[in-house]
Amino acid sequence: MRSLIFKDRSKLSPYYIPAVLPHREKQIQLLGSIYMKMLDDIDGAYPVYTQIVGSVGTGKTCTTLRFGRMLTEEAERRGIRLEHVYMNCKVDGSTRFVLFGNLVKKVAPELSTRSLSGEEMLHRLVEYLKDRRKYVFISFDEIDYFVQRNPKERIIYSLTRIPEIHPSEPCPIIGEIFISRSLQWRELLEPSERSTLGLGIIEFPKYKADQIGDILEQRVEEAFQPGVVGDDVITLISDITASPAVDGDVRVGLDLLYFSGNLAENLGASRVLPDHVRKVFSETNPTITMEDIISLDENCKLILLALVRSLQATGSAYIGLRELRESYGVVCEEFGVKPIETFEEHLQDLVYRGIVDMKSLMELGISGASLIDLERVLNGLTERLRHGLES
Ligand code: ADP
Ligand code: MG
C-alpha cells in the first residue's frame, strides 16, 4: 500500500548515503588533494595515512564512503583497478586476527588465510594485489574502539609498515584512513606507531543547527511525500539535534525524522507535526541510536532485549548479572535460539560500545537512562530493537 507520509523510507536508513553531503565539501576536497593526484602516477605511489577525527554523527563514515566512491570512479575512468575497502572495527572484528582475516576476505575471497598469522595475511594480500596489478585504498572506521579494546595488538604498526614488505617497490595499498571520535586513542599507541601514523588529520567539527537543517531538508525531499514535513518540524528537529543533550549527532536527527514519520502514519495523520517529534524525542535515548543497534550481532541484541525487559519488570535503573542471565534465557526461548556460552564476553562488548552501563556485577543498566526517563526510554529502545531484530 502506498504510504501517504513516506515516499521512500530507505532514504532515512543509516546505510543510505546521499550523493551530495552538505557542509562536508571542504573535507572531501582535502581528501581529494591528498589521494586524487596519486592516480597520476599510481606505480610511484607510496601509501599515505590520514586520520579523520570528529565526534559521533559528524559525517565521518558517510564522507569517507562517498569519497571512496569518487576516488574509485575516477580510477576506473583512467583504467586503474582500484578498490576502496571499508573496514568497521565494530563490525569486522575487534582482534587483529579477525580484522585482518576479514580484510583479506573482502579483497581476495579466494585467498585462504587458514593457519596464517595476521602478519602473513597482510603479506599474502600484498602479493595477491601485485600479481594482479590491483590497488586498494583502505579505511578503518572506529579505530579508537579497536585500540581501546586491544591496546597490545599493535595493528597500527602492522598496517603502516606494509610498504616495508617490499622496500623500494611500489605498494598496491595507496592509502589508509583511520577514523576515530577523538585523538585520545593515539595515546595508547607505541611512540613508533604514532610516528608512522603521522600528522595528517582532517577534522570534522560538530554541525550547527542551521547546517543540520540543510541536511535534514535534503533528506525530507528524498524520503517524504511533498508537503508532509513542514519547516517548523525541520527547525524543531534541528534545534533538538544541536542541543547539548544530543550534541549535534545528525544520526539522532535522522532517527527522529524517521520515527516521527512512523508515528504520524500510525496515527493516521496527513502530516508530521511538532507534537509527533516531541513524543518520539521523549522516548529517545540520545546515546543509543538505530545504527548502534543494527551493528550488534544477534546475541548482543538478545542480551540487550533481556536487559530492557528485566529493567521494565523491576522498575529499577539497575539489575544484577544473575537476573540478567535468567531473563536472557527466557528471551532465547522466545526467539527459539540456544543461549550462548560466551554470554559474559558479549555483555562486556555492550559495555565497551557504551550501550550497557556496568557499575558492578550487581548493577547493570542502560547508558544515559536515568530512573526518571527509564520507562519511556525503554519503550523506545524496545521499538528500535524490534526493528533491528527484524532487519
Ligand atoms: P559519524 O561516522 O561521524 O558518526 P555518519 O557519517 O555515520 O557519522 O553520519 C550519521 C548519519 O548522518 C548518517 O546517516 C549520514 O548519512 C548522515 N549525515 C552525516 N553528515 C551528513 C551530511 N553532510 N549530509 C547528509 N547526510 C549526512
Ligand atoms: Mg561512523
The answer to whether the CB of 251 is under 6 A from ligand 1 is yes
Q: Nearest residue CA, atom 14 of ligand 1?
A: 14
Domain membership flag for residue 2: no
By CB atoms closer than 10 A (0-12, 13-18, 19+), residue 310 is buried
Domain membership flag for residue 357: yes
* 195 and 101 belong to one structural domain: yes
Q: Tell me the residue range of the domain where 309 lies.
A: 290-390
pTM of the entire predicted model: 0.85
Residue position matching grid coordinates 585462504: 112
Residue position matching grid coordinates 575512468: 77
The answer to whether the CB of 56 is under 6 A from ligand 1 is yes
Residue position matching grid coordinates 535534514: 216
Return the H-helix or E-strand segment holding 178: strand 173-180
Domain membership flag for residue 241: yes
Estimate the crossing angle of helix 298-314 against helix 343-352, to 10 degrees. 80
Relative to beta strand 135-141, strand 363-366 is unpaired
What residues have CB less than 8 Å from 79, skipping those under 6 apart? none
Centre of ligand 2 to C-alpha 61, Å, is 4
Last residue of a domain, one of 231, 266, 282: 282
* 37 and 175 belong to one structural domain: yes
Last residue of a domain, one of 282, 308, 340: 282
Contact 50, 246 (CB under 8 A): no
Centre of ligand 1 to C-alpha 236, Å, is 19
Please state, in angstroms and rounded to a whole number, the distance separating the CA atoms of residues 218 and 234.
Answer: 11
Centre of ligand 2 to C-alpha 182, Å, is 12
Mutate to test the pocket of ligand 1, among 238, 251, 294 (most ligand atoms within 8 A of CB): 251
Grid coordinates standing for 30?
582535502
314: domain CATH number is 1.10.10.10
From the CA of 65, give the closest atom in ligand 1.
6
Please state, in angstroms and rounded to a whole number, the distance separating the CA atoms of residues 52 and 86.
Answer: 14
Domain membership flag for residue 10: no
The answer to whether the CB of 58 is under 6 A from ligand 1 is yes
Domain membership flag for residue 159: yes
The answer to whether the CB of 304 is under 6 A from ligand 1 is no
256: domain CATH number is 1.10.8.60
Question: In the 8-state DSSP scheme, what is residue 359?
Answer: E
By CB atoms closer than 10 A (0-12, 13-18, 19+), residue 71 is buried
Centre of ligand 2 to C-alpha 141, Å, is 7
* 266 and 278 belong to one structural domain: yes
**Per-residue pLDDT for the chain (391 aa), expressed as one digit of tens each?**
688 999 999 999 888 999 999 999 999 999 999 999 999 999 888 899 999 999 999 999 999 999 999 999 999 999 999 999 999 999 898 788 999 999 999 999 988 777 888 889 999 999 999 999 999 999 999 999 999 888 888 899 999 988 887 777 888 999 999 999 999 999 999 998 998 898 899 999 999 999 999 999 999 999 999 999 999 999 999 999 998 878 899 999 999 999 999 999 999 999 999 999 998 888 877 677 777 877 788 889 899 989 988 988 887 888 999 999 999 999 999 888 899 999 999 999 999 888 898 988 889 998 876 555 566 677 777 777 777 676 5
* 198 and 213 belong to one structural domain: no
Task: Give the amino acid at 2.
Answer: R
Q: Nearest residue CA, atom 1 of ligand 1?
A: 57
Closest-CA residue to 162 (of 128, 190, 188): 128
Q: Nearest residue CA, atom 24 of ligand 1?
A: 21
* 199 and 243 belong to one structural domain: no
Domain membership flag for residue 334: yes
Nearest ligand to the CA atom of 143: 2
Centre of ligand 2 to C-alpha 239, Å, is 22
* 148 and 164 belong to one structural domain: yes
Please state, in angstroms and rounded to a whole number, the distance separating the CA atoms of residues 267 and 261.
Answer: 10
121: domain CATH number is 3.40.50.300
Task: Annotate 184-207 with b (16+ C-beta within 10 A) or e (fewer).
Answer: ebbeebeeebeebbeeeebebebb
From the CA of 62, give the closest atom in ligand 1.
6
What residues have CB less than 8 Å from 222, skipping those under 6 apart? 7, 8, 11, 18
Q: Nearest residue CA, atom 18 of ligand 1?
A: 59
Domain membership flag for residue 17: no
Provide the β-strand partners of residue 146: none
DSSP H helices, the chain, are: 25-35, 60-77, 89-92, 96-107, 118-132, 143-149, 155-160, 191-197, 209-223, 231-242, 250-266, 274-282, 290-294, 298-314, 321-335, 343-352, 374-390
pLDDT at 369: 65
Provide the β-strand partners of residue 85: 138
The answer to whether the CB of 108 is under 6 A from ligand 1 is no
C-alpha dist (Å) from residue 166 to 38, 169, 198, 318, 322: 19, 6, 21, 55, 54
* 144 and 194 belong to one structural domain: yes
Domain membership flag for residue 18: no
The answer to whether the CB of 60 is under 6 A from ligand 1 is yes
From the CA of 55, give the closest atom in ligand 1.
3
Q: What is the dihedral of CA 225, 226, 232, 235, to 10 degrees?
A: 70
The answer to whether the CB of 250 is under 6 A from ligand 1 is yes
Q: Nearest residue CA, atom 5 of ligand 1?
A: 59
The answer to whether the CB of 23 is under 6 A from ligand 1 is yes
The answer to whether the CB of 61 is under 6 A from ligand 1 is yes
